[in-house]
Amino acid sequence: YERNNARPLKQRLLVVANRLPVSAVRRGEDSWSLEISAGGLVSALLGVKEFEAKWIGWAGVNVPDEIGQNALSKALAEKRCIPVFLDEEIVHQYYNGYCNNILWPLFHYLGLPQEDRLATTRSFQSQFDAYKKANQMFADVVNEHYEEGDVVWCHDYHLMFLPKCLKEYNIKMKVGWFLHTPFPSSEIHRTLPSRSELLRSVLAADLVGFHTYDYARHFVSACTRILGLEGTPEGVEDQGKLTRVAAFPIGIDSERFIRALEVPKVQDHIKELKERFSGRKVMLGVDRLDMIKGIPQKILAFEKFLEENPSWHDKVVLLQIAVPTRTDVPEYQKLTSQVHEIVGRINGRFGTLTAVPIHHLDRSLDFHALCALYAVTDVALVTSLRDGMNLVSYEFVACQDSKKGVLILSEFAGAAQSLGAGAILVNPWNITEVASSIGYALNMPPEEREKRHHHNFMHVTTHTAQDWAETFVSELNDTIVEAQLRMRQ
Ligand code: ADQ
């Protein structure tokens, strides 16, 4: 209780993620400007009123000098953020190497890197060592700021080694870990040289969460088949210690999107877009430019649709917005050129002097522009080859209550399990199937569109990001209480 007014103090939640939700720009030797990036996780945690959240993570910048580090820590403290300082070499090996070159593709079923096997195998160990070292650095910072009664929530594949490091510091620390990507089949996970060590580290957590029941099941199978442990309906048991494993599907702050549609700037933008594309149906893709998002496959399916349906040539347009990520990685550069080449070819083939069938933008849009685009869309195309959940599909649905547009959704996105009844589910590898689904969606009668939209809208507005965070954290608290009760018995 607080000393003066006897009001119960809020429980502190330490959210540990690779990146802090801020972008930091150095203005001088000891001055920084910070901008909060309003991602899904930030709004989810702002909605959790009974906790006081603090963030721990890397600020995304290299700060080798002490003056700069002190100044940045001070500026971040005002935003309830605590930095972990990583040097360039660690970032290269841990973040670009082990996280993005090994775990990200593997967890999305793209396999381990294959070119130059010997070099990969050699550097694999040094990247894993850097990964462990970086995770230990995160643990040091968490431990330094931890106070008894805090709950620690670790996020994503960057920090699989963290639960173990934290429990080594303090066995009583309440530790949860949530994975935002898919967890692959155990047959994929078992190809990873450090498979067992990673599983054991995650199992040190009290609660392990995934977006879907399938990912949770894959994780439990990996623990039973690779580690020989016992899977139970609650999770995984190792010598009497139970690690609870469950599905916690994320959502969005749907109210934020719905409210944005009333903003005059958004309405003006909607009007402009409607005029610009009048007489044509609008199809939309919004993705980070990443191999897992299936952007080339989506565009090829659209080409096939145009090929087979000449009557639609001047009546439909595809707007593909792709934010470039990891631009220094050759594979991502290759993907960008591949997408440009396909778009150029299709526009050359089906375009006229006054209109092209595909508008492709390599950039991020601000929140209001994105909402306006979602609102004017007739058919959204989410064709990820694999995706933990995919929030674009949720955001589209939230902005469609007046238009009741159609969602074409990959069956390999986690969202297929929650929006499957309202969306048209497709196998994104099957270009013929996606092309015919485009035709089906464009011709769908209003009653069917309404029914499908209603199903999805109900889901998106009742399974929000705030619900997700609250459920995870309260279950984490209960898990510990259970463990303590068992110890007392
Ligand atoms: P991501 O792979 O980043 O997230 P997603 O869930 O679709 O994928 O979220 C992307 C976010 O970025 C959305 O909020 C979207 O609005 C925004 N965005 C994308 N393109 C944009 C653009 N061009 N301009 C502006 N904003 C854009 C990871 C996993 C997902 C999982 C989430 C959350 O890969 O599967 O759903 O975490 O757990």
User: Which residues, in sequence order, are bridge partners of residue 15?
Assistant: 55, 153
Rounded distance between C-alpha atoms, residue 63 and residue 69, angstroms: 6
Per DSSP, 156 falls in state: S
Task: Choose one of 106, 110, 286, 332 to mutate for the ligand 1 pocket test, by most ligand atoms within 8 angstroms of C-beta.
Answer: 286
pLDDT value of residue 4: 46
- The predicted pLDDT at position 228 comes to 97
pTM score > 0.90 for this model?
yes
Q: Tell me, what's the pLDDT at 119?
A: 57
Question: Residue 205: what are its φ and ψ, rounded to 5°?
Answer: -70, 160
Other Cβ atoms less than 10 A from the Cβ of 450: the count is 12
Distance in Å from the first CA to the final CA of the chain:
29
Contact 429, 405 (CB under 8 A): no
Q: Which residue among 109, 332, 391, 463 is best mutated to probe the pocket of ligand 1, counting the most ligand atoms within 8 A of its Cβ?
A: 391
pLDDT attached to residue 183: 98
DSSP category for residue 34: E
Round to whole Å and give the CA distance between 212 and 411: 13
C-alpha span between 105 and 290 (Å, rounded): 10
Indicate whether residue 321 lines ligand 1 (CB < 6 A).
yes
Ligand 1 within 6 A of CB of 371: no
* CA-angle at 109, arms to 157 and 301, nearest 5°: 120
- Residue 378 near ligand 1, beta carbon < 6 Å: no
Distance 392 CA to ligand 1 centre (A): 6
What separation in Å is there between the alpha carbon of 387 and the centre of ligand 1? Answer: 10
Q: Atom of ligand 1 at shortest distance to CA of 323? A: 23
Distance between Cα 286 and ligand 1 center (Å): 8
* Residue 260 to residue 94: CA distance in whole angstroms: 38
- Is the confidence metric ipTM above 0.95 for this complex? yes
Instruction: Count the neighbouring beta carbons within 10 Å of the beta carbon of residue 147.
Output: 7
Query: For residues 176 and 57, what is the distance between their CA atoms, to the nearest angstrom?
Result: 16
Q: 10 Å Cβ neighbour count for 445?
A: 8
> Where are the strands (E) in 129-171, listed by range?
151-155
Instruction: Retrieve residue 287's tokens.
Output: 């993705």
- The answer to whether the CB of 253 is under 6 A from ligand 1 is no
Ranges of the chain whose pLDDT falls below 70: 1-8, 38-40, 47, 115-122, 480-489
CA pair distance 337, 332, nearest whole angstrom: 9
Angle between helices 162-169 and 195-203 (to 10 degrees): 50
Ligand 1 mean position to 34 CA, how many Å?
22
Q: Is residue 16 within 8 Å of residue 154, measured between CB atoms?
A: yes
Q: Is 80 left (phi over 0), alpha (psi -120 to 50) or beta?
A: left
387: DSSP letter: B
The whole-angstrom separation of Cα 144 and Cα 56 is 11
Per the DSSP assignment, residues forming a β-bridge with 140 are: none
The Cα 294–Cα 176 span in angstroms is: 31
Tokens, residue 122: 């050699």
3-class DSSP state of 186: helix
